[in-house]
């Protein structure tokens, strides 16, 4: 089981992993750890493919938040206080009650890695 404390240990990254479908998107060691240990590659895929949307791609900084309640979730992307994307996910077994990921210059990272 992954915890928020596990993720807080990631401060910076040694590697950038290239997304297999969206070659312009990369992600950090912390995001790789999250995806592997929370079985959440689907979340990385979702954020990466949504970079195809013009308004999302145009944002220099994106804050993505997944909030989980009773095996359902809401995924929201904001640039400052402007909501760029929001969707309801009808089922998830994501182990944390919430997670925030940032996207800067095509790199998905944990806030602690900034």
Q: How many other CB atoms sit within 10 Å of the CB of residue 48?
A: 21
Q: Go through the domains of the chain in sequence order and give each one's CATH number.
A: 4-113 (3.10.450)
In angstroms, how far is CA 12 from the centroid of its own chain? 16
pLDDT for 23 equals: 86
This prediction has a pTM of 0.94
Write out the chain's pLDDT in tens, 114 residues: 899 999 999 999 999 999 988 888 999 999 999 999 999 999 999 999 999 999 999 998 999 999 999 999 999 999 999 999 999 999 999 999 999 999 999 999 999 999
* CA distances to 14, 71, 74 from 82, in Å: 31, 26, 16
Residue 73 makes CB contacts below 8 A (sequence gap 6+) with 66, 67, 88, 89, 92, 94
Residue 45 CB partners (closer than 8 Å, separation 6+): 19, 21
């Amino acid at each position: 089981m992954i915890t928020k404390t596990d993720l807080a240990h990631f401060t910076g990254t040694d590697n950038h992993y290239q997304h297999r479908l969206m070659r312009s998107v990369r992600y950090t060691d912390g995001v790789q750890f999250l995806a592997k240990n929370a079985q959440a590659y689907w979340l990385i895929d979702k954020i990466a493919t949504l970079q195809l949307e013009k308004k999302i791609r145009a944002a220099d900084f994106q804050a993505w938040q997944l909030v989980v309640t009773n095996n359902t979730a809401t995924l929201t992307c904001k640039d400052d206080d402007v909501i760029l994307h929001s969707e309801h996910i009808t089922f998830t077994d994501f182990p944390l009650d919430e997670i925030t990921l940032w996207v800067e210059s095509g790199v998905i990272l944990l806030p602690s890695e900034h």
